[in-house]
Amino acid sequence: MKVIAHPDEAHAQISHWRNSGARIGLVPTMGALHEGHLTLAKRSKAECDYTVVTIFVNPTQFGPNEDLSRYPRTLEADLAGLRDVQVDMVFTPTPEMLYPAGFSTYVEPPASANPLEGQCRPGHFRGVTTVVMKLFQILPATIAYFGQKDYQQLTVIKRMVEDLNVPIRVEGCPTIRESDGLAMSSRNRYLDAEQRQRALSLWHALQAAKQLYESGERNVHILEQAMARELLQRGAEKIDYARVVDSQTLETIDTIDDEAVALIACFVGKTRLIDNLVLSNSDSH
Ligand code: PAF
């Protein structure tokens, strides 16, 4: 497994592979890897000739009061996990390599970046679209894999790729959960045992929405109220949002006609957690 920090070197390696006609799978991450990330890497391995994982805690997607400095950095353990999965290359640039002095060009995110996370974390998606675009330029892969746990991020990146004619296929992969339903997240390691229990409130709130949906309820406000009630009863402290919106555009709806997505962001202690569930008549979710 090659571990490459320098963008030029990484680009040369990918170009070499691509010139031989190989399919390259790319898994962008911020490290602190868990089974969710490794599942993305395994899927890439199954579908592509070479798999590249990036590990970069991207400063431009963190707000001034967010957890950039305390974000978990576990490079040695991450590399060991990726070696086990037998990925071919890990790209580990430094912030100075991706944002050298004088850097001043950003990718303006699409409209789907405006609600939800966009309102709670101003500038977040501008940082995400910018770094993902940079990664796509440095590492011109065939397919890029992202987790559906970051549903809005996936929606934003798919739109960006389409709008900017980026020749990379974006694949969303199902959220990987602990056996009790908690979505795997690098931020779960901030939680102590008692908070870990309260973090299950997100899963239970999504299940409450799902049960109502399956019993025929299509009124979005009723679903949202049920989610908020469940979150607070089960110990979530501050709800940033508990919404049901159009699954494609993330726009506000009153009634679910076709498919919708329930999305939650809330705090448990100082830890901000997000999760989501697609509400659809087809049973694929
Ligand atoms: O989902 C993440 O880990 C990050 O937002 C990403 C896509 C790697 C960009 O920094």
Give the DSSP H/E element, type plus range, for residue 279.
strand 271-279
State how far the Cα of 66 lies from the Cα of 96, in Å rounded to an integer: 20
Q: What is the whole-number distance in angstroms between the Cα of residue 280 and the centre of ligand 1?
A: 26
Amino acid symbol at 189? R
pLDDT number for residue 284:
47
Q: In the chain, where does DSSP find H-type helix? A: 7-19, 35-47, 75-85, 95-98, 117-120, 124-138, 151-163, 193-198, 200-214, 220-233
* Strand partners of residue 26: 52, 144
Distance 54 CA to ligand 1 centre (A): 9
37 assigned to active site: yes
Q: Which residue has the tokens 């790319």?
A: 26
Atom of ligand 1 nearest to the CA of 61: 10
Query: How many angstroms separate the alpha carbon of residue 212 from the centre of ligand 1?
Result: 32
Tell whether ligand 1 has an atom less than 6 A from the beta carbon of residue 88: no
Start-to-end Cα distance in the chain: 34
At 222 the three-state DSSP class reads: helix
> Could you give the residue range(s) of every CATH 3.40.50.620 domain in the chain?
2-173
What is the DSSP-derived secondary structure letter of residue 219?
B
Which among 40, 54, 58 is the best mutation to test ligand 1's pocket, defined by most ligand atoms within 8 Å of the CB?
A: 58
16 CA distance to ligand 1 centroid (A)?
A: 25
Q: What is the residue whose two structure tokens read 């060991």?
A: 80
Tens of pLDDT along the chain (285 residues) come to 999 999 999 999 999 999 999 999 999 999 999 999 999 999 999 999 999 999 999 999 999 999 999 999 999 999 999 999 999 999 999 999 999 999 999 999 999 999 999 999 999 999 999 999 999 999 999 999 999 999 999 999 999 999 999 999 999 999 999 999 999 999 999 999 999 999 999 999 999 999 999 999 999 999 999 999 999 999 999 999 999 999 999 999 999 998 999 999 999 999 999 999 999 987 544
Locate 110 and state its tokens.
Answer: 């699409």
Catalytic residue of the set 6, 37, 124, 285: 37
65-112: per-residue pLDDT in tens? 999 999 999 999 999 999 999 999 999 999 999 999 999 999 999 999
Structure confidence by residue, pLDDT tens digits, 116-148:
999 999 999 999 999 999 999 999 999 999 999
Contacts of 38 (CB under 8 A, 6+ apart): 81, 82, 85
Say yes or no: CB of residue 27 within 6 Å of ligand 1.
Answer: no
Domain at 186-277: CATH code? 3.30.1300.10
- The CATH number of 2-173 is which of 3.40.50.620, 3.30.565.10, 1.10.1740.10, 1.10.150.120? 3.40.50.620
Whole-number Å distance, alpha carbon 27 to ligand 1 midpoint, is: 9
Query: What value, to the nearest 5°, has the Cα angle with vertex 112 and ends 282 and 35?
Result: 60
Q: Which atom of ligand 1 is nearest to the CA of 135?
A: 9
Atom from ligand 1 closest to the CA of residue 128: 9
Q: Is 135 in the pocket of ligand 1 (CB under 6 A)?
A: no
CA-nearest residue for atom 2, ligand 1, is 29
CA angle 32, 136, 250 (to 5 degrees): 75
Handedness of CA 110, 116, 117, 119 (dihedral sign): positive
Report the distance separating Cα 170 and Cα 163, nearest Å. Answer: 13
- Please, where in the chain does CATH 3.30.1300.10 lie? 186-277
